[in-house]
Amino acid sequence: MAALVGATALAAALLGGGAGAAIVGLSGGSSGSSTTPSSAATGQTISNTTGSGDVSTVAAKVVPSVVQVNVTTGRGTAIGSGVILTADGRILTNAHVVQGAQTVTVTTSDGKKYQAKVVGSDTKSDIAVLQAQGASGLAPATLGDSGKLAVGQQVIAIGSPGGLQNTVTTGIVSALNRPLSDVGGGDDQQNSPFNRQTSNVTSGPSYTAIQTDASINQGNSGGALVDSQGRVIGINSALYSPNSSAGSVGIGFAIPINDAKKIVDQIVNG
């Protein structure tokens, strides 16, 4: 059964007192994973070149502006990513990353950890804003213009898939203005994997996405999708997978940064 899942990993103790853990998508449905990704693991995957910018140059510029987000909930722990907006610790991430959060910890690319609070979230657009406590001197990301994107344009995704912080992957813009309702089901809502995956959520996200083949996996949620100049043009948010444990198959989705900026402004300024 195909599934569109939020690209964040949620480890929860299995019912019955077992020692295993489950990887859960937006719906809270689980797959049979037996281990929990380690938040301490780090790694980086870099391709050769993309468009007019060398990937290593772009990565060096953008990685310091992307954080790992670790969340504890009543069900277990979650791993996602976030994009630094201000030097004093305002951070953009996905609403589903921090849904039900009891505590939130953000870790910068150089390993510094900060406790954070959720300033606000909008589940419909899947956008949330965090504030890292006592932070200063952080590296804000440069935000681009998602209205100028073109299909086939080279892009780079940065985040913490599976807790592997500072991971960099490359691809292209596969499609623009992709309604999530089109994915796997179209008008047949009963066959929509997105609806199946969010069937127990009162109001699931309904944004129009950037589709990319850059590898996005659980833990990338809230991370940056950037152009070849290192400008953030989208917030990685979901992936389409033939089953809940298959990982990336080259169909990922990001919230256009122009839309995200509007929601951030509403959350911060009312």
Which string of DSSP letters, residue by residue, matches 213-258?
A: -S---TT-TT-EEE-TTS-EEEEEEEEEESSTTS---S-EEEEEHH
Residue-level pLDDT at 3: 53
More confident site: 96 or 25: 96
The residues, any chain, with a CB within 8 Å of residue 48's CB and separated by 6 or more, are 55
| Catalytic one of 109, 122, 126, 146 | 126
Strands (E), 85-242: 90-93, 103-107, 113-122, 127-132, 154-159, 167-179, 208-212, 224-226, 232-241
User: Closest Cα partner for 222 from 243, 248, 253, 249?
Assistant: 253
Q: Which CATH number fits domain 3-65+141-269: 2.40.10.10, 1.10.230.10, 3.30.200.190, 3.40.50.10860?
A: 2.40.10.10
Sign of the dihedral defined by the CA atoms of residues 180, 185, 191, 193, in that order: negative
Catalytic annotation present for 265: no
The residues, any chain, with a CB within 8 Å of residue 182's CB and separated by 6 or more, are none
pTM of the model: 0.78
Residue-level pLDDT at 242: 73
Catalytic annotation present for 110: no
Which whole-number Å values give the CA distances from 162 to 3, 169, 172, 237, in the listed order?
Answer: 18, 14, 22, 14
E strand or H helix at 265? helix 257-269
Residues 186-195, mean pLDDT to the nearest whole number: 33
| Catalytic one of 65, 109, 192, 221 | 221
Measured distance CA(54)–CA(50) in Å, rounded = 6
Catalytic annotation present for 96: yes
Which sequence spans correspond to the domains of the chain?
A: 3-65+141-269
pLDDT tens-digit readout, 221-259: 999 999 999 999 999 999 987 766 667 889 999 999 999
Which pair of tokens denotes residue 16? 């019955």
Residue-level pLDDT at 270: 81
Measured distance CA(270)–CA(210) in Å, rounded = 27
Measured distance CA(168)–CA(160) in Å, rounded = 9
Of the listed ranges 20-24, 85-89, 194-198, 209-213, the one predicted with least confidence: 20-24
Longest dimension (CA), the chain: 54
pLDDT tens-digit readout, 132-146: 999 999 999 999 999
Residue-level pLDDT at 171: 97
Looking at the DSSP assignment, which residues form a beta bridge with residue 93?
128
pLDDT exceeds cutoff 90 at 207? no
| Catalytic one of 30, 96, 122, 259 | 96
User: Closest Cα partner for 255 from 220, 203, 228?
Assistant: 220
Which pair of tokens denotes residue 13? 């103790």
> Environment class of residue 258 by beta-carbon count within 10 Å: exposed (0-12), middle (13-18) or buried (19+)?
middle
